[in-house]
Structure 1
Amino acid sequence: MALSYKKRKRLALLILVVGLPIYCVVTLALIGLANDTWWSRPGERMPLFMEAVIFIGLGLAWALPLRKIFLGIGQPDPDAPKEP
């Protein structure tokens, strides 16, 4: 089922306003959990490279499946009537 331009635009806005903050909280919780689980010394963090890999991996995990929704959203509505 293909979504219309208007529905895709609304869905993209919903994803950015609701989904992105949820993604940020979940990502930070996973980083905190990983730090607590694998690095047992208090105050010690995992290496910066590993944090970057986790952030990039989780960023791709939500962005790649949703790329079709965001594709062309910034362009004018293709279904709108043309002005003479």
Structure 2
Amino acid sequence: MFRNLSLKARKRLSIIVLLIGMPAYVVVAVTVVNMFDLTQHFLLQLLVYVGLGIVWILPFRELFRGIGQPGPDDE
């Protein structure tokens, strides 16, 4: 999905995902956890947060792969 984008476009899109998408996902994750009232079960709450923390990155794995590497035009 993201392989067709240039490195410059992927870098810009990854910044947008990190600055806008991740905070929005955190709000959604906290809202979902609060709907189930897991405040009494610390380990279950921790497991849900860790699971949601892993799940959000799976669709963007290709986008973030190689972002920190120098581009083909860089020295």
TM-score, with normalisation over the residues of structure 1? 0.77
Q: CA RMSD in A?
A: 1.6
- The percentage of counterpart residues that share the same residue type is 38
> Structure 2: any 5+ residue segments left out of the alignment?
none
Name the CA distance, whole Å, in 2 between partners of 1:81 and 1:66.
Answer: 24
Runs ≥4 in structure 1, deviation > 4 angstroms? none
Please tell me the residue identity of whatever aligns with 1:34: F
- Contiguous gaps of at least 5 residues in structure 1: 40-44
Over residues 21-80 of structure 1, what are the superposed CA-to-partner deviations in whole Å (9 max), with x where a residue is unaligned? 101111111111110xxx6xxxxx2311111111122112210111110011111112x1
- How many angstroms apart in 2 are the aligned matches of 1:67 and 1:48? 29
Match of 2:50 in 1: 56
Matches for 1:2-81 after TM superposition, within 5 Å: 2-35=4-37, 45-78=39-72, 80=73
The count of corresponding residues between Structure 1 and Structure 2 is 73
CA distance in 1, matches of 2:28, 2:19: 15
Q: Which segment drifts farther, 53-62 or 23-32? A: 53-62
In 2, distance between residues paired with 1:23 and 1:81?
Answer: 33
* TM-score, normalization by structure 2: 0.85
